[in-house]
Amino acid sequence: MIEARSLTKVYGGKAAVDGIDFQVKPGMVTGFLGPNGAGKSTTMRMILGLDRPTSGTVSIGGRRYQGQVWPLHEVGALLDARAVHPGRSAYDHLRSLAAANGIARARVDEVLEMVGLASVARKRAGGFSLGMFQRLGIAGALLGDPGTLLFDEPVNGLDPEGISWIRTFMRSLAAEGRTVLVSSHLMSEMALTADHLLVIGRGRMIADMPLSELMARDSGGRVEVRSADPQRMAADLRAAGAQVTLEPDGTLGVAGLGSRQIGELAAERGHVLYQLRDVTASLEEAYFRLTGESVEYRAAVPVAS
């Protein structure tokens, strides 16, 4: 379990991470979500003892990272997959990490096999694709068979096959009872991977809740209606106090009335309905609603969506 208390990091008078509290629990994938520059990477670096918190504390299994003698047996991390000497082979890169924590050479071969890099292990890493770097980074994180894993933007720049591989991999790590924290700025990715979400914006914790709860919370109560006579239907709905938008294909978006009331109204007025559907907001929309206030840099003119 990872636990942060009033964790704060100030750079040049500006709080990159502003007094956040959270717990990351074992046995599930926790998504660490937020726009670029929200403080995700800074938080991860503080968890790993790379950056010193300005105030507050963060611990893994109740202990500070810096105090660990053989940390790779407790914690594995993928921060920047490209952080490998281009002239060093994947095998030697992992060997040096393993040696630093008394991990046997056989384990290096094992993790290379697990991530599917065994055939290129002796090649110099400079020629690797981004996907291969990500696999190498994950192999490094797994070296010590740790109970806690941190992945910073692991799917960035990957092809769909690589993304699905990492997703499956993270889910299986969590299923084995490990603590898995994955950061991303892509809500759509988190929707498929995470069980629990920590949403951060401008250094503050905006939401800390199960994924299902976040999806349910902001559905906004919209109903989609398709009927034989959309114009007359829209007029009747407006007369009943609903806000109605008419799509070019004749679909009506209705707010202010529930699907049950709309159905009853349609029956009273003799409408033929083809479809009546409650619309849950997409996770993306819920995320935008949450972080809308906290995006650091936004275009002056909002892009039409």
Partner 1 sequence: MSAQAGTVPHRGIRLDSRLRATARSEWIKFRSVRSGPLALSATALTVVAGAWLLGDANRGSYLAASPAGQAAFDPVFTVLQAIELAQLFVGALGVLTVTGEYASGLIRGTFVATPQRAQVLAMRALVFAVVVWACCTAMSFAAFFLGQSALSPAKHAGIGDPGVLTAVSGAGLYLTLVGLLAMFIGVLVRHTPGALAALFGILIVLPVLFLSIIPGKITQNLGEYMPGQAGEQAFHQLHSGAYALGSWPGLGVLAAYVAVAAFAAFALILKRDA
Q: Which residues bind partner 1 (CB under 8 A)?
A: 26-27, 45, 48-52, 61, 65-75, 77, 79-80, 82-89, 92-93, 95-97, 99-103, 140, 144-148, 176-178
- How far lies 98's CA from each of 16, 21, 61, 76, 135, in Å? 33, 32, 22, 12, 16
CB of 198 to partner 1, least distance (A): 21
Q: Which is nearer to partner 1, 103 or 266 (CB)?
A: 103
Any residues with CB less than 8 A from the CB of 102 and at least 6 apart, and which?
Answer: 70
Q: Which is nearer to partner 1, 3 or 145 (CB)?
A: 145
Q: Which amino acid is at 1?
A: M
Q: Which is nearer to partner 1, 182 or 244 (CB)?
A: 182
Nearest to 217 by CA among 294, 120, 287: 287
How do strand 222-227 and strand 252-255 relate by DSSP bridges? antiparallel
- How far lies 177's CA from each of 4, 64, 182, in Å? 20, 21, 15
Q: Which is nearer to partner 1, 20 or 233 (CB)?
A: 20
CB of 204 to partner 1, least distance (A): 21
CB of 149 to partner 1, least distance (A): 11
State both tokens at 150: 């941190």
CB of 101 to partner 1, least distance (A): 6
CB of 100 to partner 1, least distance (A): 4
What is the C-alpha separation between 305 and 302, in angstroms, rounded?
Answer: 9
CB of 197 to partner 1, least distance (A): 22
State both tokens at 124: 């110099």
Q: How far is CA 4 from the centre of its chain?
A: 18
Q: Which is nearer to partner 1, 19 or 61 (CB)?
A: 61
Q: Which is nearer to partner 1, 61 or 250 (CB)?
A: 61
